[in-house]
Amino acid sequence: MTGMTAWVGLNLVEVKAGDVIFISGAAGAVGSVAGQLAKLRGCRVIGAAGSTEKVKFLMEECGFDVAFNYKAGPILEQLNLASPDGIDVYFDNVGGEMLEAALSALRVHGRIIACGGISGYNQEKPQPGPSNLFNMTTKRLTMKGLIVGDSLNLQGEFEREVGSYFRAGKLKNKETIVTGLDQAVGAFIGLFEGKNVGKMVVKLD
């Protein structure tokens, strides 16, 4: 389901060869597949993740062009360094500061895939929107919301296309596996603490 979310997201804003795409939550289940699929489409791919180990995974295993640790310095500075001429697409898994940085970095007619907002899921009170939302107007941006369940009719197409990449060894699947139902709550909380690389899986013993 998370792989399909990545694929549906890229299709939603017609990600194509030559696009510079920035992906947050890049080492997670959705982000790591979105980045690899974008590379296969001929994009320049930039990812943000929360540790050096994850940055290494993105660069060495997923083929990202640039990856940075968003906890190691200001996000916008790192994004500008990664792509001084801006970005065409932002795949948002995180919201908050990450979305704000992307709004600044997007070029005119840039596109945003609004997939997730994990930075806000546990906030007691909803935070105000990004302080630079007016970029939507000045740069004529498009932001499209995504719910993968709306596209279940495309599952066959997804399986044919992405399954063929997988079988050809062009797409890596990474999982973080914890064993035992009693570990499920900890695994879920771990998602908010960045404990997983790729898909967090609870294996029943």
Q: Of 82-90, 116-124, 130-138, 180-188, which part binds ligand NAP (CB under 6 A)?
A: 116-124
Query: For residue 111, what are the contacts with CB-CB under 8 A and spacing of at least 6?
Result: 13, 14, 15, 88, 89, 90, 141, 142, 143, 144
Least separation in angstroms between residue 118's CB and ligand NAP is 4
In the complex, the smallest distance separating the C-beta of residue 116 from ligand NAP, rounded to whole angstroms, is 2
Binding mask 54-83 for ligand NAP (x = CB under 6 A): x-----------------------------
Reading the block at residue 42, the tokens are 């001929």
Cβ atoms within 10 Å of 65's Cβ, excluding its own = 18
By CB under 6 A, residue 29 contacts ligand NAP: yes
Task: Write down the least CB distance from residue 159 to ligand NAP, Å.
Answer: 17
Residue indicated by tokens 């060495």: 60
* Residue 135 found at the interface with ligand NAP (CB under 6 A): no
Question: Should residue 148 be labelled a site residue for ligand NAP when binding is judged by CB under 6 A?
Answer: yes
Min. distance of Cβ 141 from ligand NAP in angstroms?
A: 19
Minimum CB distance to ligand NAP smaller for 147 or for 204: 147
User: Smallest distance from the beta carbon of 12 to ligand NAP, in angstroms?
Assistant: 10
Window 181-200: contact mask with ligand NAP (x via CB under 6 A) = ----------xx-x-x---x
Using CB under 6 A as the binding rule, whether residue 118 contacts ligand NAP is answered as yes
Least distance in Å: CB of 36 to ligand NAP?
13
